[in-house]
Amino acid sequence: MEPDIPGQEPWFKYFPENHMWSQVLLVALEMAPWGGATLGEVDQVGKRLRKHVGDNEAWFREWTGMAGRVERLADEAASKGRGLTSGGAYFRASTYYFTGERQIPPDDPRKTPTFKKVVETFQNGLERCYPQVERIEIPYENTFLPAHFYPAASARSGKSPSVVFFGGLDSTKEMLLCAGIELSRRGIACLAVDGPGQGEALRLRGIPSRYDYEVPAAAAVDYLESRSDVDRGRIGIIAWSLGGYYAPRAAAFEKRFKACVAWGAHYDYHAVWLKRRKILESGKTEASSPIFHLLWVMGVKTMDEAMEKLKSYTLEGVAEKIECPFLITHGERDPIVPVEMAYRLYERAGSRKKELKIFTAEEGGSQHINLDNRTLGVTYVSDWLSEVL
Render 21-58 in DSSP notation, one character per residue. HHHHHHHHHTTGGGTS--HHHHHHHHHHHTTSTT-HHH
Interatomic CA distance for residues 244 and 151, integer angstroms = 24
CATH 1.20.1440.110 positions along the chain are: 15-131
CATH 3.40.50.1820 positions along the chain are: 133-389
Residue, of 158 and 68, whose pLDDT is higher: 68
Q: pLDDT by residue (tens digit) across 332-354?
A: 999 889 999 999 999 999 999 99
The answer to whether the CB of 263 falls within 8 A of the CB of 243 is yes
The answer, yes or no, to whether residue 19 has pLDDT greater than 90, is no
* Confidence at residue 285, expressed as pLDDT on a 0 to 100 scale: 60
- Mean pLDDT, the chain, rounded, equals 94
Helical (H) or strand (E) element with 161? strand 160-166
pLDDT band at 6 (very low <50, low <70, confident <90, very high): very low
The answer to whether the CB of 298 falls within 8 A of the CB of 208 is yes
CATH of domain 15-131: 1.20.1440.110
The answer to whether the CB of 165 falls within 8 A of the CB of 381 is no
From the list 98, 95, 377, the residue with the least C-alpha distance to 243 is: 377
Phi, psi dihedral angles at 360 (to 5 degrees): -95, 165
* Confidence at residue 284, expressed as pLDDT on a 0 to 100 scale: 65
Tell me 14's DSSP state.
S
CATH of domain 133-389: 3.40.50.1820
- Angle, helices 56-79 vs 83-101, to 10°: value is 170
Residues 6+ apart with CB under 8 A from 347: none
Q: pLDDT by residue (tens digit) across 129-169?
A: 999 999 999 999 999 999 999 999 976 668 999 999 999 99
Q: pLDDT by residue (tens digit) across 70-118?
A: 999 999 999 999 999 999 999 999 999 999 999 999 999 999 999 999 9
Give 6: exposed, middle or buried? Use CB within 10 Å, 0-12, 13-18, 19+: exposed
* Confidence at residue 64, expressed as pLDDT on a 0 to 100 scale: 98
